[in-house]
């Protein structure tokens, strides 16, 4: 039985012992996957393609198309479009920059809303119809489906209010009613806490960091890729299997063979995949995603394990 057959058997046993919870199985000693790639594909995996029908992507699009002295504007508790995310527009790769130009006091309230049992009796004074909620509450929860007759209940999340609107609310900071009634369901509403969360206005600019997706991928390759090898025949066989039928796995509890150990050593001290401008992700230890060149081909490589 080779290591792959052993792995299949071991995974079945692990799932059985864990009550079918495959995710509960222990980490293998080694997992190595190598996928041949190209500069364009590398760039695709590290950038965002814009969809003009979302507000965040609209901001990024406008920033890329703005002139030298123009900006795009967006509002949010956090950056509407993340400035650490390069994106593609009209064939070029851009990075956005954002400056806060205005700030309005606000709070985010953590809340829980659970369905009320159908036969449960509720004091009428503790219940409010959804249609009777003040406008500030209806607006705050407009994207939660509360305008429906039978909204989804049974979850915890947060909702944002401007400080100026809190006094007009019957739900925050402390609910004046325990239960909200819809035509086909009722929900018990509880506030679990709050944090300051001002609503900020951001002005965005953007600059092209690569004139093509392929050029951006080449920049990543020049930054982090390393040559795997030279390898002796037995170590090369490990790599070849990780390419032909990934992942190559050494099951939990087994020690690495000498060839496997030599392959792992090739990754020590090498840079993990990162975008240009991101902090270095090299250093001691082996694990994560790497870009490497092997026998005149480029590979996106993932290596993980519980090696001592």
Strands 297-304 and 30-37: antiparallel
DSSP reduced 3-state for 12: helix
How many angstroms separate the CA atoms of 306 and 29, rounded?
A: 5
Averaged over 31-60, what is the pLDDT? 94
Helices in the chain by DSSP H: which ranges? Answer: 3-17, 39-46, 55-65, 135-140, 163-166, 213-224, 233-244, 258-265
Joined tokens for residue 190: 């509880």
Task: Name the least confident of 136-140, 200-204, 215-219, 283-287.
Answer: 283-287
> Closest by alpha carbon to 46, among 276, 207, 205, 211?
276
State mean pLDDT over 100-129. 96
Query: Average pLDDT in the 77-95 region?
Result: 95
Say if pTM beats, i.e. exceeds, 0.85. no
Question: What tokens were used for 277?
Answer: 């401008």
As a whole number, mean pLDDT of residues 38-60 equals 93
Give the residue with greater pLDDT, 115 vs 19. 115
Q: What is the pLDDT of residues 190-229, one digit of tens each?
A: 999 999 999 999 999 999 999 999 999 999 999 999 999 8
Mean pLDDT in residue range 144-163: 96
Kindly report the average pLDDT of the chain as a whole number.
90
pLDDT higher than 90, residue 67:
no
pLDDT at residue 25, rounded to an integer: 54
8 Å CB contact between 92 and 211: yes
Distance CA 6, CA 201 (A): 57
pLDDT at 7: 37
Distance CA 301, CA 37 (A): 10
Name every residue whose Cβ is closer than 8 Å to that of residue 155 and which is 6 or more positions away in sequence.
112, 113
pLDDT, residue 11, reads: 40
- Tell me the pLDDT band of 151, cut-offs 50, 70 and 90: very high
pLDDT category of residue 70 using cuts at 50, 70 and 90: confident
pLDDT digits (tens, 9 = 90+) for 172-185: 999 999 999 999 99
* 258: pLDDT strictly greater than 70: yes
Residue 70, exposed/middle/buried by CB under 10 A (0-12, 13-18, 19+)?
exposed
């Amino acid at each position: 039985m080779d290591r792959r057959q052993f792995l299949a058997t071991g995974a079945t046993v692990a799932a059985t012992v864990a009550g079918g919870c495959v995710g509960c199985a222990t980490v293998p000693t080694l997992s190595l996957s190598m996928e041949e790639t190209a500069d364009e594909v590398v760039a695709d995996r590290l950038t965002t393609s814009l969809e003009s029908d979302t507000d965040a992507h609209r901001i990024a699009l406008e920033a890329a198309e703005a002139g030298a002295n123009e900006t795009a504007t967006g509002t949010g508790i956090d950056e509407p479009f993340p400035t650490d995310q390069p994106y593609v527009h009209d064939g070029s790769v851009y990075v956005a920059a954002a400056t806060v130009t205005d700030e309005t006091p606000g709070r985010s309230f953590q809340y829980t809303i659970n369905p009320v049992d159908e036969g449960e009796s509720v004091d009428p004074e503790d219940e409010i119809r959804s249609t009777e909620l003040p406008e500030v509450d209806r607006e705050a929860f407009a994207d939660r489906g509360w305008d429906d007759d039978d909204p989804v209940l049974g979850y915890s999340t947060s909702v944002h209010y401007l400080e100026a609107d809190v006094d007009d609310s019957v739900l925050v900071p402390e609910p004046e009613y325990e239960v909200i009634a819809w035509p086909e369901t009722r929900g018990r509403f509880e506030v679990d806490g709050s944090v300051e969360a001002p609503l900020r206005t951001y002005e965005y600019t953007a600059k092209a960091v690569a004139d093509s997706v392929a050029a951006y991928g080449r920049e990543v390759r020049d930054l982090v890729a390393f040559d795997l090898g030279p390898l002796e025949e037995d170590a090369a066989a490990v790599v070849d299997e990780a390419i032909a039928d990934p992942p190559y796995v050494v099951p939990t509890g087994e020690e690495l063979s000498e060839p496997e150990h030599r392959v792992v050593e090739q990754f020590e001290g090498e840079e993990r995949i990162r975008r240009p401008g991101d902090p270095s992700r090299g250093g001691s230890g082996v694990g994560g995603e790497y870009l490497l060149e092997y026998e005149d081909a480029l590979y996106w490589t993932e290596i993980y394990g519980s090696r001592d």
